[in-house]
Every structure is written in C-alpha cells, then in structure tokens.
Amino acid sequence: MLLRAAPVALLVAVLAASCAGESTVTAEETLTETFLSVSAPRLAVDTFRGRVAVTAAPGQDISVEVTKVGAGSSSAAAKRDLQYVGVGIQREGGTVQVVAARSDGGTAPGPSAAHVTVRLPAGASINIKTANGEVTVTGMAGGIIAETGNGRITVSGARGQVSARTGNGEIDIGGELLTVEARTENGQIGLSGSLSSAVHQLRSGNGAITADLPPDSDFRLEASTITGTVSCAFNLPGADTSAKTNLFGATSPAAKTVLAIHTNNGNISVR
C-alpha cells in the first residue's frame, strides 16, 4: 500500500530559460518519510526524471525526501503541473520503495522531475533507476545497482558489488574489495580502490577508461580499444606489449582477479 507523504515545504516558483528562448516557470513541493528500525534493509528507487542521492547513515532508520518539480508557462501552471508528478513511498518488511511517475502518460514538460534523497544503513542493498538524472551513492556496502538513461553515476566509499549503467554520462566508482560492472554508451569511466577475486567489467562506447589500483594488486588484464592506446603501470610478465590497442596479461600466474576493459573510442590506463 502506498503511503501519502506529507508536504513539508512551500511551493517555490523559479524561472528557467528554455532552449526556445522562452521562460519556463517551475514549482517545487517536498515530501518526507522516515521508517524506524528497519532490519535487513533494502531500497528500490524508480523515477521518471530527477537526481537520486543515497548516503549511508548510522543507525537502522531510513529517511526519504522527494522533491517534486512541476513546470509551466506561469506560476499557476507550474503549480497545477505538480498534480501530475505522482510519488509513492512504501515499506514492505525490510524493503523501502520510492516510485515517481507522471500520471499524464509521461509527457513531462521541460524540467519537471522528482529528485530523491535517501539516508539509510550502510549495509542496505540498493537498486536505483532514473530515466534522466545524476545518481550519487556514498558509503554503501550492501550491494549497489544504479542505472540512468542520461546522467553521471558517482559511487564513493563503497564496498562489495557495484553495478553502474548509463546511456550517456561518466561513471566514477571508488571503494574497497569491489566487484564492479560499469557500462556507459558515451562517457569516461574511472575506477579506484581494491578489487575482489572476481571478474570486473568496464565498458564504454565512447570514452577513456582509467583504473587506479593498490600497488600490491594481483590481477589478469584483458584490455582493448578500437581507437586509442592501452597502458599498464603494473608488470605483466610475458605479455605482448607491441600492440598499442590491446593488452592481455597477468601480474602472476595465480591471479584470480580479472579486469576486463573495453572502449570503442578512448585510451585505457591501468595504474
């Protein structure tokens, strides 16, 4: 059952210039909900457009804030448009679900959106999806899935599994003992931190890829680019370094970590 969150902020109207040179007015309404003492917490977020920010917090409570944004040609029109930005916040057991959608079939005018901010225990597993917007995840260690159709994905201070996908935007992942899958159709990928003994995949359709690893890292590298060069600061005994667009080798015969990197257009650097 969806919970009706109470508005805690007045509507705010601001002007934004549109690409056509005309002004678009926006109105905002903020909803909040707090769930106390959530055991085995999980979070699922799905919004039609908007930024999503998830941050680890002490304790077992989960706090959710959603800022609805309506748009129109006037202040009154923007406020009326807010009624078409539907938000549902519900809890079933340990799972908190946040859903935002347009009730008029998804024909969102201009900057209409639903921005989501969540604070929850670091061990919670999270699944985030936004059709258009930036995703930021900080300090989480329970498994991360983040997907946006258009926007940057930033994951910092993470631990464990991280899956990040964007249709258009950069991906930046940092943490320790990571298991990583990162894919973007257009944008750079940056990875920093230690890796688990698993297969890690970094893929970009258009953009450079950089992996910064601890000096004692032991891994097998499978790296290739169509347009660009591949470089590795680690010693890979026996690897053929004559081909500038690909590099295959391992730091030791016993390496269990596999780092598979590919970009269609851009340089690859492992250091």
81 three-state secondary structure: helix
CA distance 241 to 245: 9
> Tokens 């359709």 map to which residue?
205
CA distance 60 to 131: 29
pLDDT of residue 93: 96
Q: 201 vs 9, 165, 182, 213, 241, CA distance in Å?
A: 43, 11, 6, 15, 21
Tokens of 144: 């991360």
Q: pLDDT tens digit string along 76-127?
A: 999 999 999 999 999 999 999 999 999 886 456 678 999 999 999 999 999 9
pLDDT of residue 108: 60
Q: What is the mean pLDDT of each run of 10 residues along the chain (271 residues)?
A: 42 42 85 97 97 98 98 93 96 98 72 97 98 98 98 99 99 99 99 99 99 99 99 97 96 98 99 98
77 three-state secondary structure: helix
pLDDT of residue 109: 64
- For the chain, the first-to-last Cα distance in angstroms comes to 50
Q: pLDDT tens digit string along 231-256?
A: 999 999 999 999 999 999 999 999 99
pLDDT of residue 219: 99
pLDDT of residue 23: 79
pLDDT of residue 200: 99
102 touches 88 (CB < 8 A): no
Residues in the chain: 271
Domain boundaries, the chain: 1-121, 134-271
pLDDT of residue 198: 99
Q: 68 vs 8, 32, 79, 100, CA distance in Å?
A: 12, 11, 10, 9
